[in-house]
Structure 1
């Protein structure tokens, strides 16, 4: 039985095990993988230093000494996974020493384990090859609209009802604005961002239309790949609007879920100093800290966000414009719009098939 497998050939009931360090795993991993590290970050650095400055043999010796002490714990964790899954698939950075050695050892002990050829690097090559192809198969329905109209919430409602959605902000763990990280923690890395996009587009495979929110190319610290951003520009564009009170309430509910968010909000607001002025920012922060959010949110939308957004969005011809008073109202209108698009697409496909058949008969 082969003990290596390409990521693209994985199927069935399996669990991925990332044996890289916690630091490597947290930076980016294959979606769904659990982390059972052979080394800590410090141990990996030590082995690497010995490998570079002394010798391969000495590095291996140190590595074996470190891992041998952890083998009972590693064995126990893999054994528990074997009870739940048919296959346990291991990977490290490049499919080399770490995953190869632990796979061979566990197989010798009778365990059902395989390893990914090429490791995480091989997986990244797969993503770089496959993601552009998935992107070419879809037409994006792009939602535009001022801050707070509920675009993200509408996407979530559409996804819950079975419609195809690419939530770029969710993939990045960042809302895309200067306040985008408030209450969310750190933005994800570029590699993890692209892996998350792959997972969302993979689930839409075979479907033509995918809803997505209009974004500038940068979301937090990640960049939307050029080929996706261009495909979004070439998509079908929809404008969503809502009353100011609705928008301000939605923003307040989203950004003030925890008291500690006030400090994050103020820190982020100071990034707007050159646009709004230091005096105004300090006044806003005082109000935020006092829990007086409504006027702050409305002023920021009217004086800063709305003018900035309208300047960037006025270059599109919208196939549909909506004025909504609830997220449900917006999602229902867009579901009807999507159903109409799909019906029209099916008609075009049937006409194309008929034309092809007629051409064959005539020949």
Structure 2
């Protein structure tokens, strides 16, 4: 018989062994919100779920259950096979609130000899856990912020990703939001909603809550569809800022490599139209022409010079000099190396009070 486990028990298990966390809700429910690292093996498709719901409303619950059993019976071999093909030996299943769908799924795979557990409360219970922990983190998040700042195209996200791979305490807020944080930031991405962002944020914040410092990018309150928690914004405002100063040519190349505008010409033009009126008319006309003809190098350079850089310059002036330093570097690799040196000299070796 499968075992029911709580969110806290799930987290403890994750520390001890590889787990396959399986969301058995419909694909649209999974896309709306899911537990970080989980996979979707739906017991019902969106259409099947709608059909069962109609039977429930128009006939009765018993008829809806019979319809559900009919659908599950037909797809049972493939459903079990998908679970069996997961590389992790132990599986944890969940649905909306730990009800019939996860109970049925856990029972079926358990009967087939697959080690199964069911998450108590489902994604709804996990969401409650997230909200409770967000409130607790507000008072118990100890790290000081080391904020990576710089003009658009300075490679800040790449720097943070490189540092995280090396084991530094990084909070990749843009990665959690799946958005680059600008009007062009969603191009080529499917931005996460607030629920998904909060799930990912709490997971990472709990890992880093006792770290002496945390590295993050100088984001505004909103990143795409997600809003940052106030306590993190306060930590960022009080933190130490490292400004990465890259040559214009390098910044343009970084943006072209990251955004690949030639693959998303309509999206780029649409994003530009949203800010066009804020740019001096002759320059805006040239940028629009460059986007139409595919001269993205010129378009990006003009956007930086006449839109992003002036806006950033004002924000940068608000940071006190005694809480900031500027790194004049040639490329992202040099910036990463100098930030590592700064951490080693000014933070990890700094005396404690």
> Under a length normalisation based on structure 1, what TM-score does the superposition of the two structures give?
0.86
Q: Alignment partner for residue 114 of structure 1, among 111, 114, 117? A: 117
1:278: how far off?
6.7
1:197-212 to 2 correspondences below 5 Å: 197-204=201-208, 206-212=210-216
Q: Distance in 2 between matches of 1:208 and 1:149?
A: 26
Higher mean C-alpha deviation, range 281-290 or range 115-124:
281-290
SS at the partner of 1:343? coil
SS at the partner of 1:142? strand
Q: Alignment partner for residue 103 of structure 2, among 85, 89, 100? A: 100
Per-residue CA deviations over 1:5-40 (Å, capped at 9, x if unaligned) read 012212123211110001111222112212110111
Q: Alignment partner for residue 265 of structure 2, among 254, 262, 267? A: 262
Q: Distance in 1 between matches of 2:71 and 2:154?
A: 54
SS at the partner of 2:78? helix
1:1-150 to 2 correspondences below 5 Å: 3-10=3-10, 11=13, 12-81=17-86, 84-131=87-134, 133=136, 136-150=141-155
Is this contact kept in 2: 1:248–1:297, CA < 8 A?
yes
Q: Distance in 1 between matches of 2:348 and 2:179?
A: 31
SS at the partner of 2:101? helix
SS at the partner of 2:118? strand
1:119: how far off?
0.5
Q: Distance in 2 between matches of 1:294 and 1:140?
A: 34
Is this contact kept in 1: 2:171–2:204, CA < 8 A?
yes
Deviating 4+ runs (over 6 angstroms): none
Per-residue CA deviations over 1:267-315 (Å, capped at 9, x if unaligned) read 2111112212676545323213433233322222222111212223322
Cα–Cα, structure 1 residues 250 and 51, in superposed 2: closer, same or farther, change >3 Å? same
Cα–Cα, structure 1 residues 331 and 127, in superposed 2: closer, same or farther, change >3 Å? same
SS at the partner of 1:259? helix
1:228: how far off?
2.2
Q: Distance in 2 between matches of 1:328 and 1:304?
A: 26
Structure 2: unaligned runs, 5 residues or longer = none
Matched, 1:223 2:223: no
- Structure 2 counterpart of 1:327: 332
Q: Distance in 2 between matches of 1:292 and 1:13?
A: 48
Higher mean C-alpha deviation, range 125-134 or range 72-81:
125-134
1:316: how far off?
1.9
Cα–Cα, structure 1 residues 265 and 7, in superposed 2: closer, same or farther, change >3 Å? same
Higher mean C-alpha deviation, range 32-41 or range 246-255:
246-255
SS at the partner of 2:275? helix
Is this contact kept in 1: 2:25–2:43, CA < 8 A?
yes
Q: Distance in 2 between matches of 1:205 and 1:232?
A: 14
Is this contact kept in 2: 1:95–1:118, CA < 8 A?
yes
Cα–Cα, structure 1 residues 72 and 322, in superposed 2: closer, same or farther, change >3 Å? same
- Structure 1 counterpart of 2:160: 155
- Structure 2 counterpart of 1:343: 349
Number of aligned residue pairs: 343
1:94: how far off?
0.5
Q: Distance in 2 between matches of 1:116 and 1:226?
A: 30
1:163-182 to 2 correspondences below 5 Å: 163-182=168-187
Q: Alignment partner for residue 252 of structure 2, among 245, 248, 253? A: 248
